[in-house]
Amino acid sequence: MLELRLVQGSLLKKVLESIKDLVNDANFDCSATGFSLQAMDSSHVALVALLLRAEGFEHYRCDRNISMGMNLNNMSKMLKCAGNDDIITIKADDGSDTVTFMFESPTQDKISDFEMKLMDIDSEHLGIPDAEYHAIVRMPSVEFARICKDLSSIGDTVVISVTKEGVKFSTRGDIGSANIVCRQNTTVDKPEEATVIEMNEPVSLTFALRYMNSFTKATPLSNTVTISLSSDLPVVVEYKIAEMGYVRFYLAPKIEEDEDETKPQA
Amino acid sequence: MLELRLVQGSLLKKVLESIKDLVNDANFDCSATGFSLQAMDSSHVALVALLLRAEGFEHYRCDRNISMGMNLNNMSKMLKCAGNDDIITIKADDGSDTVTFMFESPTQDKISDFEMKLMDIDSEHLGIPDAEYHAIVRMPSVEFARICKDLSSIGDTVVISVTKEGVKFSTRGDIGSANIVCRQNTTVDKPEEATVIEMNEPVSLTFALRYMNSFTKATPLSNTVTISLSSDLPVVVEYKIAEMGYVRFYLAPKIEEDEDETKPQA
DNA sequence: CTCAGATTTC
DNA sequence: GAAATCTGAG
């Protein structure tokens, strides 16, 4: 028996909006500690990891560990039927091949329940080791989203370079090239507007903007985003979910020639 | 060496939005007095003239006259990457085949530079003589835009007729006909809401609405628009740019039978 | 000016 | 279905 009651239902709606374009089907893993998901994107390039801790739910009952395979598109369709201030409850009976989403309007005047078929999905659950990163950048999530969107109108890849002074996002395409430098800045009025750089070692890595732009769909989940970089490790783009957990996106860097190298424009 | 620093960068963004649909490629001419452009639209029917005077820039350095050929679509893509309250600096080295747009956020925490390839464009620079116009109408730019949009849902051309009392915009199409009369009105609270008519001689001219609707893309540049009309001269639709100059659109009238003539809908 | 909602187009 | 554009609200 599974029953998870989430007062701020809009959180779950936003989580699904942020990952459904990247992942078609995935197993939601439910244990006593929380509700989580880990899945590769459909082209097996990026990885999504979601955690919603049990403490973040108003009521959390999970009698035994269970893995529920869902089509994220269908799940998203159902969640779209919940109001933004509805309370959402996820329910599943032991051994059942369906899951039920219940939506309660704030006034309790409207109660909906949507039942969805589960599916069998084989997933390799990768252990993601905690790594030491060369550099961790925290910045306003809207600013990161804007930068990724802007650069993708010029080129296909972004080079992210971190020094103590700031983080530089660069791209190059047919019509020209672009560099955007964000200085470290901790002296703003609100902490969520700060750009903070923790750096052990300078680092410069190249990524496909297409995936970065997918990741920024999670912007509504958090005011800030954390970008963790190490040479030859996948970058981690993390959106914290207040009081509950996170959505993290992992993407391997492109192995490329030195960006300063002069090469013919093939 | 060229370096033009424009504090109100949104002006340049709006200028490009207003002309990029009309003109694909154009030479920006830079001299000690200002930054200007003159170009025919791609179908060689309308003409655009832009002037941004040197005095409107916070810093203006132009060592020698230079003509820079740009693809306006690509330039617009880059300017879209500037924030609306960014400071924009246009830079070019002597003899360089690129131009650089630098964007500084108001807090100086984000500095972007975009480099764009220049192109060779042969342009006939037409001398546009200052003419005496039979009638000059000044009216709120949003009102003019609304009229052109509304009329284009009925017909393809607009007849603009000016008398002392007011200006009449008429069209006719398959589904019917329409006349919109704006009376002279100088007694409004704000001068930019006035409709003012200076008339030496009544005039009535026909224009393609398709172009008029293109011109009204410049509406965000100014609260008012000036429409200058003479028989057998191109109409001038002018949007003043505060403290700096203007964007002017020229369009030849259609030579047509009397508008009241009943003719088969070919 | 930014955010969100709505609309339109690909 | 998604992206871009436009509009109204805060």
Instruction: Please tell me the predicted confidence (pLDDT) of residue B191.
Output: 83
Flag if A153 and B80 touch (Cβ within 8 Å).
yes
Let me know: does B101 contact B116? Beta carbons within 8 Å: yes
Report the alpha-carbon distance of residue A28 to residue A16 in Å, rounded: 12
Buried b (16+ CB within 10 A) or exposed e, A169-197: bbbbbebbbbbbbbebbeeeeeeebbbeb
Shortest CA distance from A145: residue in chain B: B81
Give the pLDDT score at B189: 81
pLDDT of residue B258: 55
**What pLDDT was estimated at residue A123?**
80
Please answer whether residues A175 and A218 qualify as being in contact, where contact means their C-beta atoms are separated by less than 8 angstroms. no
Binned at pLDDT 50, 70 and 90, residue A107 comes out as confident
Q: Do B71 and A185 touch (CB under 8 A)?
A: no
Can you name the residues that pair with B26 across neighbouring β-strands? B70
Residue A51 DSSP label: E
Give B-chain residues touching A175 at CB under 8 angstroms. Answer: 71, 74, 77-78, 116-117
* Two structure tokens written together for A169: 């996002």
Judged by CB atoms closer than 8 Å, whether chains meet at A150 and B81 is answered as: yes
Tell me the average pLDDT of chain B. Answer: 91
Q: For B98 and C5, how far is CA from C1' in angstroms?
A: 41
Global pTM reads 0.93
CA distance B178 to A156: 49
Is the Cβ atom of B173 within 7 Å of strand C at any atom? no
Architecture of domain B133-249: Box (3.70)
> B117–A183: do the CB atoms touch at under 8 Å?
no
What are the sequence ranges of the domains in chain A? 1-115, 133-249
A162-187 residue pLDDT tens: 999 899 999 999 899 999 999 998 88
Reported confidence tier of residue A261, pLDDT bands at 50, 70, 90: very low
User: Measured between alpha carbons, how far is B140 from A109 in angstroms, rounded to an integer?
Assistant: 49
Q: What is the pLDDT of residue A129?
A: 85
pLDDT tens sequence across B59-114: 999 999 999 999 999 999 999 999 999 999 999 999 999 999 999 999 899 999 99
Percent with pLDDT over 90 in chain B: 76
Give the distance, in angstroms, between residue A81 CA and nucleotide D9 C1': 24
Using the beta-carbon criterion (under 8 Å), do B78 and A195 form an inter-chain contact? no
Give a three-class secondary structure readout of A188-238. Answer: CCCHHHCEEEEECCCEEEEEEHHHHHHHHHHHHHCCEEEEEECCCCCEEEE
| Radius of gyration (C-alpha) of chain B in whole angstroms | 20
Which residues does B250 contact at the CB level (< 8 Å), separation at least 6? B46, B47, B48, B49, B128, B234, B235, B236, B237
- Identical topology for domains B1-115 and B133-249: yes
Does nucleic acid strand C have an atom less than 7 angstroms from the CB of A223?
no
| A77 CB neighbours strand D below 7 A | yes
CA distance B151 to B146: 8
Is the minimum distance from the CB of A42 to strand D below 7 Å? no
Residues of A with CB below 8 A from B98's CB?
176
B81, A185: Cβ pair inside 8 Å?
Answer: no
CA of residue A121 to C1' of nucleotide D7, angstroms: 44
| CATH tag for B1-115 (out of 3.40.640.10, 3.40.50.300, 3.70.10.10, 3.40.50.850) | 3.70.10.10
**Complete DSSP assignment for chain B:** -EEEEES-HHHHHHHHHHHTTT-SEEEEEE-SSEEEEEEE-TTSSEEEEEEEEGGGSSEEEESS-EEEEEEHHHHHHHHTTS-TT-EEEEEE-TT-SEEEEEEE-TTSSEEEEEEEE----------------SEEEEEEHHHHHHHHHHHHTT-SEEEEEE-SSEEEEEEEETTEEEEEEEE-B--SSSGGG-BEEEESS-EEEEEEHHHHHHHGGGGGG-SEEEEEE-TTS-EEEEEEETTTEEEEEEEPPPP-S-TT------
Report the gap between the CA of A179 and the closest CA in chain B (Å): 5
Distance B84 CA to C1 C1' (A): 8
Look up residue A106 and give its two tokens: 């704030």
- Minimal Cα distance from B83: which residue of A? A146
A229-241 pLDDT per residue, tens: 999 899 999 999 9
In angstroms, the CA A262 to CA A245 distance is 44
> Per-residue pLDDT tens for B196-233?
999 999 999 999 999 999 999 999 999 999 999 999 89
